[in-house]
A and B are shown apart, each in its own frame.
Chain A
Amino acid sequence: MKRSIGLPLTAVAVLLAVACGGGASSSSASNGGATGPGVTSDTIQIGTTNAQTGNVSGPATLTQAGAQAVFDKVNAGGGVYGRKIKDTVLDDGYTAPKAVANARTFIDQPVLAVFGGYGTVPSQSIVPILEQAKVPYLFPYQGNPYPGDRYVFLMMPLYRNQTAAVIRAAIEKYGKGTVYALVGKTADTPQTVQVAQQATAQAGGSWLGYDEVNQGTTDYTPYVLRMKQTHPDFVLVSTTPTDCARYVTAMVAQGALPAKRILGLQTLATESFINAVPPEASNAVFAPGPNAAPSNKLAADCVATVHKYSPGTQVTMETLWGCGTAQVFVYALQKTGAHLTRDGLLKTLEGMHQVDAAPVLTPVSFSASNHVGEATMYQFTSSGKQLVSGGTMPIANVAT
């Protein structure tokens, strides 16, 4: 009879794995089991998948530079309980396949958490993988919902809630009027449109219709022509920054600026958008921003940090976002204590209520049923290619 050696070998392998603490918790073994994956006696290892190249790399690299300045500052001060924060940044080029490969690298590394990153496409592609591996995914620069996902924590309000808020605030500020929208296709688009219609009606405005577009649309003129014939007072633009800029540029070319304002989400409250579009369009923008502008005194701490630890980096809205979210992350690490594990970090985050850990952001709250941190955003307009902050607007968050 032929004897199989498969089972005994498997058993030995399992015993060895248990004895060594398993691949995912090898760092625990190296420091006496006091901490979780990605944490050693002197290092907190995190990972970031970010669009370091490609057509959103401008803002994406600035978010990372802002965050890295905070980590450098913390490390220069001795770290968190003596552990230096080490962030491995891998380029995803704003593509799903590269982001997924990066996420797998982080899972294998392993990291304590995946932090930051830019945009919807990479984020949506890696959430299921990180969820399965039970790796916390903290504060990517995007606002799509992940209902029921325990491991994803967003900082900025959901896009659909930003949409409702900006419509309500615009009608309140500039008077009642008609609204037309251009929205990029995402899984959340139907809900976003529904919310926009409801918000328009509730604020006393009239909904004229909308167009749905793919990212990278070549010619926006047909959409502008459709919008132009409805003569809207407000045009809501919600897609990628580059596509927003192309659409708005086509609006100017067709003499089709809305009677009152161009509305948008946080992508419009950025220097890169304002600088990319013609001045007559940038002066008509009204949009929410998740953080204060560089000229705001609330941004002073971050501005100083970036200047000191990342000299030469341009301080923009995105830089400050990276700085602010990193400050909240560091706050959560400190609150979790010396015994740093993924579960401990999640509990700390879910216990945060109206925390002002980052002055440049609005107060942050999470709970077991709410994984969206900010419930207020700053109002922005633009004048002469300069972003102008005009107070705040409340955002009604829904549970994720």
Chain B
Amino acid sequence: MGLVGAAAVSGVAVGFVYGMLAFSIVLLFKASGIPNFAQGNIATFGTFIVYLLAARAGLPLAAAIGLGFAGTAALGVVIYLGGMLPRGDAGTLNLAIRTLAIYLLLFAVMNLFWGVGQPFAFPRFLPAASMTVAGVSVSLLSLVTVAAAVVLGGAFWLLYNRTATGLLLRGIADRPEVARLLGADTARLSGLAWLLAGLVAVVVGLLTVPTALLSSDMMDSFFLYAFTAALLGGMTSLPGAFVGGVVVGVVSNVVTVLRGQEISILAIFALLIVILLVRPDGLFGHGVVERL
């Protein structure tokens, strides 16, 4: 297989990273109806927690990762309670703008407290093993990313489709008033959604940091591609997030090797516009039917 094939394989690998971040955006959107622009920085924040505990406080990496999960889950809940719950009926635009503000706030906090010395080399937690696929060396990290995508995708599919909690989460996103009338504790359920988004964010951060190096803006460029992936796949489709991620990864890497970076960026966003024109809800998304 030639250069294009190799680029496609590498695109699948990085596409799953985009897909993981897109997945964390979608899972929150499904439960809250809010596009969370702070998701990338929540991932970075969680990765910083793990780094500080492991590299500076000297904790074993496994313990640091465990505490990182706990801390970031708590961060998700705090963001919800402090930033989203008050006047939570202010409308989607208002709430989306709040997530933008939270993005900036988290960035400022990370720069304030951990800005000096960036970027940091994260402690290696996977061996540097790899296998060759179509002339491309696919790292163990990429394989773990795919495995994590399958596990998380399956787990959240089960949550949303086979559990009462998942049904309620979907309910409060699609019909919050109806869900409330039916007795759903929307605050508790939304808090749970933010907690879960925080947990997934740590996974995303840990899978990104070995190649990106740890800095306050680590996820910025990833987030653009991930959000594109979420829109491509459909903001309500968990599998769609991964499909969108892989599409973005493959198109990006193939066009880059053929025509360079600028044309690659142009191609991705042209593709996004075309798909949104043809399928406004993305490849696998579904629109919300409004009763008139």
Proximity string of chain A (287-315) to chain B, C-beta cutoff 8 Å, 1 when within and 0 when not: 00000000000000000000000000000
Which chain A residues border B173 with CB–CB below 8 Å? none
Q: Quick check: is B117 within 8 A (CB to CB) of the other chain?
A: yes
The residue on B at minimum CB distance from A254 is B137
Q: Quick one: which of A52, A246, A254 has the most chain B CB within 10 A? A: A254
The CA-CA distance from A249 to B212 in the complex, in Å, is: 9
Kindly supply a per-residue 1/0 record for chain A positions 31-56, scoring 1 wherever the CB is within 8 Å of any chain B CB and 0 otherwise.
00000000000000000000011111
Over the window 111-144 of chain B, the binary record of Cβ atoms lying under 8 Å from chain A Cβ atoms (1 yes, 0 no) is 1100111111100000010100000110100000
Residues on A with C-beta less than 8 A from B116 are 52-53, 57-58, 61
Q: Does B257 contact A (CB under 8 A)?
A: yes
CB nearest to B114 among chain A residues: A53
- Whether A107 is near chain B, meaning CB under 8 Å from some CB there, is no
Interface locus among B78-86, B217-225, B283-291? B217-225
- Count of interface residues, chain A, beta-carbon cutoff 8 Å: 35
Main secondary structure, interface of B, reads helix
A52 to B111, CA, bound (A): 9
Least CB distance from A312 to B in Å reads 13
Contact (Cβ within 8 A) A222 B7? yes
Smallest beta-carbon distance B142→chain A, Å: 9
B211 touches A52 (CB 8 A): no
Do A214 and B261 contact each other (CB < 8 Å), given the known contacts A249-B211, A250-B211, A278-B128?
Answer: yes
In the assembled complex, A10 has its CB within 8 A of some CB on chain B: no
Determine the residue in chain B with the shortest Cβ distance to A214.
B261
State in angstroms the CA–CA spacing of A61 and B116 once bound together.
7
B115 touches A57 (CB 8 A): yes
Q: Which residue of A lies closest to B208 (CB)?
A: A218
User: B118 contacts A57, CB within 8 Å?
Assistant: yes
Q: Are A52 and B7 in contact (CB under 8 A)?
A: no
Assess A226 versus B3: contact at CB under 8 Å? Given A52-B116, A58-B118, A221-B10. yes
* CB of A212 closer than 8 Å to a CB of B: yes
In angstroms, Cα B122 to Cα A245, docked, is 13
Among the listed A53, A211, A212, A242, which residue makes an inter-chain contact with B115, where contact means beta carbons less than 8 Å apart? A53
Collect the chain B residues with CB atoms within 8 Å of residue A4's CB. none
With A and B bound together, what is the CA distance between A354 and B222 in angstroms?
A: 48
Interface positions of B from 200 to 244, Cβ below 8 Å from A: 211-213, 215-217, 220-222, 225
Q: How far is the CA of A216 from the CA of B223 in the complex (A)?
A: 12
Residues of the B chain whose Cβ atoms lie less than 8 Å from the Cβ of A93: 111, 115
Interface check B22, CB cutoff 8 A: no
Output the nearest chain B residue to A253 by Cβ-Cβ distance.
B139
Chain B contacts for A53, CB-based, 8 A: 111-112, 115-116, 118, 216
Cβ–Cβ < 8 Å partners of B220 in chain A: 216
**Which one of B120, B215, B253 contacts A221 once the chains associate, using CB atoms below 8 Å?**
B253
Please report which residues of chain B, range 25-63, place their CB below 8 angstroms from some CB of chain A when the two chains form the complex: none
Asked whether any CB of chain B lies closer than 8 Å to the CB of A383, the reply is no
- Interface residue? B252 (CB, 8 A): yes
Residue numbers in A under 8 Å from B247 (CB-CB): none
Interface residues of A in 200-258 (CB under 8 A from B): 211-214, 216-219, 221-223, 225-226, 229, 242, 245-246, 249-250, 252-255
Determine whether the beta carbon of A225 is less than 8 Å from that of B211.
no
List A contacts of B128 (CB < 8 A). Answer: 252-253, 278
Closest B residue by C-beta to A224: B10
Query: How far is A168 from B89 in the complex, measured between Cα atoms in Å?
Result: 66
With the chains together, A219 CA to B119 CA distance in Å? 17
Q: Which residues of B contact A252 (CB under 8 A)?
A: 128
Docked-complex contact B3 and A225, CB < 8 angstroms: yes
CB distance from B253 to the nearest CB of A (A): 4
Residue B6 interfacial (CB < 8 Å):
yes
- The distance from the CB of B19 to the nearest CB of chain A, in whole angstroms, is 13
Tell me how far the C-beta of A65 lies from the nearest C-beta in chain B, rounded to whole angstroms: 10
Contact B257 A225 (CB under 8 A): yes
Q: Nearest-CB distance from A62 to chain B (Å)?
A: 9
Q: How far is the CB of A266 from chain B (nearest CB, A)?
A: 18
**Which of B119, B249, B260 is close to A242, meaning CB atoms less than 8 Å apart?**
B119
Q: List chain A residues, Cβ under 8 A from B252.
A: 219, 222
Residue A393 at the chain B interface, CB threshold 8 Å = no
Chain B residues within an 8 Å CB radius of A213: 261
User: Which residues 52-99 of A have a CB within 8 angstroms of B?
Assistant: 52-58, 61, 93
- In Å, the complex CA distance between A222 and B263 comes to 14
Instruction: Check B253 against A276 for contact (C-beta < 8 Å).
Output: no
Q: Which residues of B contact A212 (CB under 8 A)?
A: 260-261
Is A275's CB within 8 Å of the partner chain B? yes
Which residue of A61, A218, A254, A276 contacts B221 across the interface (Cβ within 8 Å)? A218
B132-165: contact bitstring with A at CB < 8 Å (1 yes, 0 no)? Answer: 0000110100000000000000000000000000
Residue of B112, B136, B212, B256 near A246 (CB, 8 A) is B212
B14 beta carbon closer than 8 Å to chain A: yes
Residue of B nearest to A62 (CB): B117
Closest Cβ–Cβ distance, residue A161 to chain B (whole Å): 26
| Least Cβ–Cβ distance between B268 and chain A, in angstroms | 11
CA distance A57 to B257 in the complex (A): 32
Nearest chain-B residue to A220 (Cβ)?
B211
Q: For residue A278, which residue of chain B has the nearest CB?
A: B128
If A219-B253, A253-B211 touch, whether A54 touches B10 (CB-CB below 8 Å) is no
Contacts of B120 in A (CB 8 A): 58
Cβ–Cβ < 8 Å partners of B261 in chain A? 212-214, 217
| CB <8 Å contact, B118 and A55 | yes
Interchain CB contact under 8 A, A57 and B117: yes
Q: Which residue of A lies closest to B115 (CB)?
A: A53
Known: A53-B112, A222-B257. 8 other contacts (CB 8 A): A53-B116, A53-B216, A54-B217, A55-B216, A58-B117, A221-B136, A223-B256, A253-B139
Question: Which A residues are closer than 8 A to B by beta carbons?
Answer: 52-58, 61, 93, 211-214, 216-219, 221-223, 225-226, 229, 242, 245-246, 249-250, 252-255, 275-276, 278
Top 10 A-B residue pairs of the complex, sorted by shortest distance between their CB atoms: A53-B115, A55-B215, A222-B256, A53-B111, A221-B10, A58-B117, A218-B221, A222-B253, A219-B14, A276-B121
**16 CB < 8 A contacts A-B:** A58-B118, A58-B120, A212-B260, A213-B261, A219-B14, A221-B14, A221-B136, A222-B257, A225-B3, A225-B10, A229-B3, A249-B211, A253-B137, A253-B211, A255-B130, A255-B137
